[in-house]
Amino acid sequence: MIRGRRIVERAADAIGDLLDFFLARGIDRLSLVGGLSGAIATWLTPDLRSRLKQPDADAVAGALLVAGRRFVLPKGETDRESVPSFAFDGVWKWIRCMATEEVDPRFADLDGWSLASAMEAMWEGQLAAVAAVGRALPAITAATELAKDALRDRGRIVYVGAGTSGRVAVQDGAELTPTFAWPKERVYFIVAGGDSALATSVEGAEDDIDDAIHQIDAARLTPQDVLIGVAASGTTPFTVAALKRAEGSGAVTIGVANNAGTALLTSSRCPVLIETGRELIAGSTRMKAGTAQKVVLNLISSGIMLRLGRVYRGMMVNMQPTNAKLKRRAEAMVAEIASCDQAQAACALEQADGDIKTAVLLALGSDRGEAEAILKSYDGNLRRMFAELANDRLQQLKKGGAQARRSR
């Protein structure tokens, strides 16, 4: 009981200071709502209580309104000196500071919990991180569309990051070649501390602005390139400097951060904010922030490949069958798309030197030269090819394929 009273007292003190701050700056439409509002109000000064307004709606409506708007300080109140002393000790700290660096009071005793309870809390944190991506979907979609338009058949996807964020970015980029046959020369990594930082921490690397500028210059970016910078804090000097340096190249810049209003977002043509909030272990952004970053990168890179025709009917038709498992998968794709049996699909794949799209047309009756010419004319996009080829031509291909299979 005594502990609960002290919590309410401290909350009332912080809220009272916050109300004073707003009232002194002419913001007078202030209300207290929520289950503890009545208890907290009794601890406020009579003057403050008299100046509170009756709320127009309940706490849920207010929370939804706040969720849809970014909190902005009154004009002119943007420097640390203008913020009152309580700014870093109470409610204002929650608003003003980087949430990813704060200790979440709910988990202050996490190390004293039972392991089962701690595991459940961390699992729930991961779920919350994935859910936070949903609010950023419009920004993610817009960034992906812009990236697809820039890349076409020559541009590179360039990943930039430091520490955990850099390793998450490299993980995404490294999968593009085996999954979508994205050319290796069209994936580029700019990581603080270089390759050695992928396995071990490199002291001071994330603060090395000169290295960021050097690596960007060495990359020789063009307007066809897409640069994706990732930093949980949104303030990492290396990553921010890289994005700013890239501006002059005309490359599409996408910034992914977990704190609002930060330099990485303001320096990007396509800012993507994922507000994952406090980590269960303060500052350990490999947890909630890192999970959300990986989801965002998955969406962007996979979305690009969707729009560039490297996926057809849910299948990765540009995949390279480099082992037995992938070869079986490729044969199943050809059989599914060309409506032939597994043996015929395997034969077509062998004739096509493992190229799934070419093998589909071979299984439908085209010869190698004709198949490659058709695919080239449609930029390798099977959906567009099947949609635009005249029905009689498709029927002719299928009929020719059936006759060829019967003659074998």
Q: Which residue has the tokens 């000196």?
A: 81
In this structure, whether the domain defined by 130-307 belongs to CATH 3.40.640.10 is answered with: no
pLDDT in tens, 110-126: 889 999 999 999 999 99
CA distance linking residue 259 with residue 322, whole number of Å: 41
The 10 Å Cβ neighbour count of residue 132 is 21
Q: What is the pLDDT of residue 315?
A: 95
CA distance linking residue 192 with residue 229, whole number of Å: 12
Residue 206 designated active-site: yes
* Domain spans in the chain, listed from the N-terminal domain onward: 2-97, 130-307, 324-407
Q: Is 168 helix (H, G, I), strand (E, B) or coil?
A: helix
CB 180 within 8 A of CB 316: yes
Please give the order of strands across the beta sheet that includes 270-273: 187-191, 157-161, 226-231, 252-257, 270-273
Q: What is the pLDDT of residue 254?
A: 98
Alpha-helix runs per DSSP H in 158-236: 163-174, 176-180, 209-219
Q: What is the pLDDT of residue 35?
A: 66
CB 27 within 8 A of CB 53: no
CB 244 within 8 A of CB 234: no
* Tokens (6 digits) for 230: 């990732």
CB 99 within 8 A of CB 259: yes
CB 149 within 8 A of CB 308: no
Nearest Cα neighbor of 232 from 157, 161, 141 is 161
* Residues forming a β-bridge with 158: 188, 227
- Per-residue DSSP letters for 72-110? -PPTT--SGGGS-GGGGSSHHHHHHS-GGGS--GGGTTG
- Per CATH, 130-307 and 324-407 having the same topology is answered no
CB 158 within 8 A of CB 219: yes
Active-site residue among 102, 175, 336, 372?
Answer: 175
Task: Provide the 8-state DSSP code for 113.
Answer: S
- What residues of the chain score a pLDDT lower than 70? 1-10, 21-22, 24-29, 35-36, 55-98, 390-408
Chain CA centroid to CA 150, Å: 19
Nearest Cα neighbor of 277 from 84, 116, 135, 114 is 135
Residue 175 designated active-site: yes
CA distance linking residue 254 with residue 2, whole number of Å: 50
CA distance linking residue 389 with residue 377, whole number of Å: 11
Q: What is the pLDDT of residue 101?
A: 77
Q: Which residues contact 286 (CB under 8 A, 6 or more apart)?
A: 164
Q: What are the φ and ψ backbone dihedral angles of 159, each rounded to 5 degrees?
A: -100, 135
pLDDT in tens, 134-190: 999 999 999 999 999 999 889 999 999 999 999 999 999 999 999 999 999 999 999
* Residues forming a β-bridge with 188: 158
List Cα–Cα distances, 324 to 138, 175, 328, in angstroms. Answer: 39, 18, 6
pLDDT in tens, 127-137: 999 999 999 99
CA distance linking residue 304 with residue 142, whole number of Å: 11
Q: What is the pTM of this model?
A: 0.71
Q: So what's the architecture of 324-407 in CATH?
A: Orthogonal Bundle (1.10)
CB 17 within 8 A of CB 86: yes
